[in-house]
Amino acid sequence: MHQKSIEFTYTFLMNDDFLKPYDHSKEKEIYDLWEKSGFFNPDNLEKTDGNYCIIMPPPNANGSLHVGHAVMVAIEDIMIRYNRMKGKNTLWLPGADHAGFETQVVFEKKLEKEGTSRFEILKQEGGREILYKKIWDFTQSNKEHMENQVKQLGASCDWEREKFTLDPKIISVVYSTFKKLYNEGLVYRAKRIVNWCVKHQTSLSDLEVSWEQREDKLYYIKYKIPSQKREILIATTRPETIPGDVAIAVNPKDKRYKDLVGEKAIEPITQKEIPIVGDDAVDIGFGTGALKITPAHDGVDFEVGKRHSLETIATLNLDGRFNKLSGPFEGMKVNEAREKAVEILQKSGSLDKIDNYSHQVGTCYKCKSVIEPMILDQWFIDLSEKGKKEIVRPAIDSVKKGKIKIFPKFQEKIFFHWMENIRDWNISRQIVWGIPIPVWYCTACGKETVHIEKGSPKNCSACGHTELRKETDVFDTWFSSGQWPFATLQTSGENDFKNFYPTSVMETGYDILFFWVARMIMLGLYVTGKIPFETVYLHGLVRDKDKQKMSKSKGNVVDPLGVVEQFGADALRMALVVGNSPGQDVIYDENKIKGYRNFSNKLWNIARFVLASADSHGFNADLRGQLTAEDEKLLKQCEEIKTKASQEIENYRFSQAAEIAYHYVWHDFADKIIEDKKKILAENSDKSDSAITLLYLILLDSIKMLHPFMPFVTEAIYQRLPKKDKEFLMVEEW
């Protein structure tokens, strides 16, 4: 065991301000001493009773923490402090996420305020490198600020092992995973329909698309069929894409259109001839039962087009403006082109009618721009057929067989539903900020070469040609963070992966069960052959007292550090934990925080009374041996309460554990036991020694029981005890 030499004295102890009310502004001094002690590092712990590890979900290094992060810190620190006191070799590994797309969005807003944009920077010579360096500096500044905020909340994590998702060693692990996937045929590049954000100029995964109910117009349009001198009616919300139509599809079983399959129709804007095809995927009962097929701009149409070997006409550019293939819409944005299309259709008599239509519209989850389906060359992880067997099924089985437990349990059904219906995962992003995809393309044969070593490959792996073009896309952040548990432990202490993997608990918000948790399970099992964690604990979102989701636009976002400065971290932590069940949203209520600030003062006053009484009556270091039978019974009741609190923590019922401790200390210890013993102490009877001993032992058990929840005030009290076994309460025996 290695232990650093340290002066175990608080500056506020020297001032003897134990006579004053508890001062939470001294919390930083306590944290600094914890950090200097070295006990956050499991290598410095005195003894071990098995290993316990939590990998902190890395907050995004693009801004300040919000109150949701405070929930995460509070819950994880409860588990860490409790297990450390239980004698386990306890590691809480912290980190920060470069948060690719999200960080670039935040940085672009900063650039807008400065009167420029990423597109302006990219026009400069060496623009990509300039932009990357600017975002790097931005995140490093935020990262340092964010770490200080985590410390203010009392997180007892091992900062010596801290990781960043862009650390060179982490990138090396990510590259090795990509190479393994590529070599085993589980990652591929192909032209596919992707979700394209016109504003941010990047593709998004299916999970990054927000679906919103919107009111639109449904346009019924007549397509002429010259050979039969009749028309077929098509309903669409997007008449502006008509120039990209390559066919009309009907169900071959539909009696209305059975004789039209194989005929030609005239698309009514550019007047080109398109075939009518039969496809079983067409819903006979939906709309008119006939669909316009525009493969370049609709996911369903793309699949129909593949089945019938139809051409693809991409009429919309990546910047959201129509090109020359759109005929009269060239240069227009979507809404302009829609108005023009309606005007043309009305003039030609092709517009039959317009109805109001309520439907789900896909939007970018960050800017709310309508997603444009686009056909692009992108990198995908195969999660169908072979990928289902190699990556998806082992993840499903790990939860089904109970190797990984999810709290709350109902989230398991949601997990299974999503995993059973999973689609190939688009892992390439058209942004600058992120981990570059390690691929080069041959300018001669077009074949890609995956190269994960430093520098560029000398020649094409297929034909030997020496002129290669580097991929400019970067990995989706969730691809790299999906490897976080094993990537961190493989690149930290020498035996960390051996000692701490699989980790004990992954604690995070229920809203990223699919974004992150499912992907960690899939990639962890695929790369290491082991589950990444044994338990998943999902906390809820933090809402205001009116149960509204917090957002900047509503003006109800709470800065947790402002609350800490006003009421103390202990009070905030208790307020966020009590009443918080796994998977349920947390209601933020300042009155509740004030109540727990009062409890901090109550606990402080209890300690002042007990220690002052011990001092005035002469404290006997030979403790338990002098208890009366009645006091033995009271002490046993206290120990039983602590056992109950322990059982609740073990079963992830942190709210119940906190309430048990709170009610015992306030209503049993303070209101009853102390009040009863005051009379005995006032009389200075032969029971005084037993009374003082009892009060001292219950105080010690009380601060142990409350320490995981309220670490600062309990440690401040512990340091004032005349008899203690350890330098710090955080390494005391539970």
Can you give 654-680 as a three-state secondary structure string?
A: HHHHHHHHHHHHHHHHHHHHHHHHHHH
| Residue 592 pLDDT level (bands cut at 50, 70, 90) | very high
Angle at the Cα of 180 from the Cα atoms of 176 and 185, rounded to 5 degrees: 150
211-254 pLDDT per residue, tens: 999 999 999 999 999 999 999 999 999 999 999 999 999 999 99
Q: Supply 573's token pair.
A: 């932590």
Please report the pLDDT score of residue 2 as a whole number: 39
pLDDT in tens, 296-305: 999 899 999 9
What CA dihedral angle connects 671, 677, 682 and 684, to 10 degrees? -170
pLDDT digits (tens, 9 = 90+) for 79-132: 999 999 999 999 999 999 999 998 998 999 999 999 999 999 999 999 999 999
Instruction: Check residue 277 and give its pLDDT.
Output: 97
Write out pLDDT tens, residues 304-338.
999 999 999 999 999 999 999 999 999 999 999 99
3-class secondary-structure state, position 277: strand
Which tens digits make up the pLDDT trace of 490-499?
999 889 999 9
Does residue 522 register a pLDDT over 90? Answer: yes
pLDDT, position 49 = 79
Nearest to 19, CA basis, from 596, 566, 611: 611
Q: Over the stretch 349-368, which tens digit does the pLDDT of each residue have?
A: 999 999 999 999 999 988 88
pLDDT digits (tens, 9 = 90+) for 712-731: 999 999 999 987 889 999 99
Domains in the chain (CATH in brackets) are 204-372 (3.90.740.10), 586-731 (1.10.730.20)
* Contacts for 429 with CB less than 8 Å, ≥ 6 apart: 100, 101, 202, 203, 473, 474, 475, 476
Position 624 confidence tier, pLDDT thresholds 50, 70, 90 = low
Mapped onto helix, strand or coil, the DSSP state of residue 570 is helix
pLDDT band at 689 (very low <50, low <70, confident <90, very high): confident
| Length of the chain counted residue by residue | 734
Q: What is the pLDDT of residues 525-583, one digit of tens each?
A: 999 999 999 999 999 888 877 777 765 556 677 788 899 999 999 999 999 999 888 88
User: Taking 80 as the threshold, does the pLDDT of residue 203 lie above it?
Assistant: yes
Number of other CB atoms surrounding residue 507 within 10 Å: 25
CA distance 28 to 385: 54
SS3 category, 437: coil
Rounded Cα distance, 480 and 627, in Å: 59
Average pLDDT along the chain: 92
pLDDT for 621 = 52
* Res. 620: pLDDT tops 70: no
Q: What are phi and psi of 476, to 5 degrees?
A: -55, 135
State the pLDDT confidence band at 591, using cuts at 50, 70 and 90. very high
User: What is the sign of the dihedral through the CA atoms of 542, 547, 549 and 554?
Assistant: negative
Give the integer Cα–Cα distance in Å for 108 and 113: 9
Q: In the prediction, which pLDDT does 21 show? A: 82
